[in-house]
Amino acid sequence: MAIPKQASWMVRKILNMRKTVFILWLALLSSLRTQDLLIKWGIDVNGTCVLCKNGLETQEHLLFHCCFSKKVWQEMLSWLGWSRNVGNWEQEYTWVQQTAKGRRPQHVLLEACFATTVYGIWIDVTPGYIRIEAQPVIS
């Protein structure tokens, strides 16, 4: 589906969610490259969550044990009109899946906000330890 040129930047951003859906898919597969995995692979990283500076950064911590990410999701739920305590990753995904059954606008918006929250948290985390630096070519 082509995005109309007259659409506002926000509408264009929401309609163009390929990256967001991809990151959510990785999270569902427990395949986000968090610092605990990088350490297991022998990559030298700090390991501490870059959002809250408290505890080892694992996917479970990042989504939603981390006080920062929990607060972000809590605020998003509040903005959407939901009042509930935020659980862990599996509880939140299950809740969204069960709550957003159907294709009514509020269901689609809840799914989109969940995916966007996961993506936003992931994007906030990755610059903290992924640095791409040009290496000189040795002749």
Domain count for the chain, please give it.
Answer: 1
Whether 15 is covered by a domain: the verdict is yes
Q: pTM for this one?
A: 0.77
Whether 34 is covered by a domain: the verdict is yes
Please report the pLDDT score of residue 134 as a whole number: 40
Query: Sorting pLDDT into bands at 50, 70 and 90, what band is 21?
Result: confident
Q: What is the mean pLDDT of residues 27-47?
A: 88
Whether 96 is covered by a domain: the verdict is yes
Q: What is the mean pLDDT of residues 120-128?
A: 80
Please report the pLDDT score of residue 119 as a whole number: 92
- What is the crossing angle of helices 89-99 and 105-125, to 10°? 160
Decide if 82 contacts 72 (C-beta within 8 A): no
Whether 64 is covered by a domain: the verdict is yes
Please report the pLDDT score of residue 103 as a whole number: 78
| Cα angle value 127/132/136 (rounded, 5°) | 160
> What range defines the domain where residue 85 resides?
9-126
Whether 99 is covered by a domain: the verdict is yes
Whether 40 is covered by a domain: the verdict is yes
- Give the C-alpha distances (Å, rounded to integers) separating 128 from 9, 41, 65, 91, 133: 27, 18, 18, 27, 14
| High-pLDDT (> 90) share of the chain, % | 41
